[in-house]
Structure 1
Amino acid sequence: MGYIAEACAKQGLTLQPIAPRGLYRPAIRHGDMLYLSGQVSRLGEETIAGPALASDLERGQLAARTAALRALSVLDAALGLGERVRVLKLTGYVMSEPDFTQHSAVIDGASRVLVAVLGEDAGAHARTAIGVASLPSSGMVELDLVCAIERD
C-alpha cells in the first residue's frame, strides 16, 4: 500500500484497483510527469450516470468524488518507493443538459478529495470544468490529471 492509499484509509476512503476497459493505459509517465487517462464516476461495476442536474448538485459532487478516488488509485499504483505526487492540472468533464451551468460546482467535489488526501501543497491544482453531451458508460463525470512526480 502506497502513501496515497494510507492517506485515504485514514479518512475512511477505500481505493479500488483500476483496469482499463479499452486500448489505453491508466497512466503514462514521461520523466517526472505523470499523465492520467480519464476516470469516470464508477464504483466497481456501478456507474453514477448523468446528466448532472442543478436540482441535485450533491449527486454531481458524489460522482466527481468517485472519479477522483479512481484517479487517486491510479496515482497510488503508478508511484515508486520514495515518490510523491503533485497535481498540476485537473480537467473535469460533466455530462449535462445544454442549460446546465454549474460544472465548476460539480468538479469541486473532486478538488476537495484531492486536497483532503494529498494536502494543500500537493493536491491544489489548476482546473478546467467542461460540460459535455455524453461520457463513457453514461458516467456523469470524467476526470483526467496531469501530475509532477517528486522524490522524498
Structure 2
Amino acid sequence: MKKIRVAPIIGLLILLQTASFAQNKASLNHIAHYVVNLKTSTDFYMHIVGLDSIPEPFHDGKHTWLSVGYKSHLHLIQGAAAAYDLPKNSHLCFTVPSVTDFIKVLEKNKIGYENWAGEKNAVTLRVDGVKQIYFKDPDGYWLEINDAKE
C-alpha cells in the first residue's frame, strides 16, 4: 500500500483556506477629503506630506487622486464651502522614516505642529518608542506623522 504524506496535504489545504479567507476580507481602497481649494490641498499633500499623484478618471478639475499605499488612495474632491473644525481624535496618519526630518519640512513651510496633548512644537513619544506629531491640512483635517516601523 502506498503511503500518503498527510502533512503537506494539510498544509496545502490550510494555505488555500487562508487565501480564500483573505480574499473575502475588506481592504482600504480610498479615503475621500472634501476640500475648499483643490490646488492648495493638492500642493499640500504632494509637497508637504510627500504623496504622489496618480491618474484619476474624471478629468474635471475637481479631483486629485494620491497614492497612500498599495492599492490605497487619498481622493481630494473640490467643493467644500469652508474648512472643518474636527477633533484631533479624527485624523489621518502617515509614517515617515524620520519625524525630525519631517518637522524640518513643516518649519521651512511655516506650518505649526503639536504633540497629542496640544503643546506647540512638541513631539509625543509613545510608550513603544514611536515619535508622533499632529498638524492640520488647509481644510482643517488633522494629520498625524509618526515613525512607526510597522
Please tell me the TM-score bracket, short chain as reference.
under 0.3
Instruction: Identify which of structures 1 and 2 has the higher relative contact order when contacts are C-alpha pairs closer than 8 Å and 6+ apart.
Output: 1
Structure that is richer in helix per residue? 1
Greater gyration radius: 2
> What TM-score do the two structures reach when normalised by structure 2?
0.27
Query: TM-score under structure 1 normalisation?
Result: 0.27
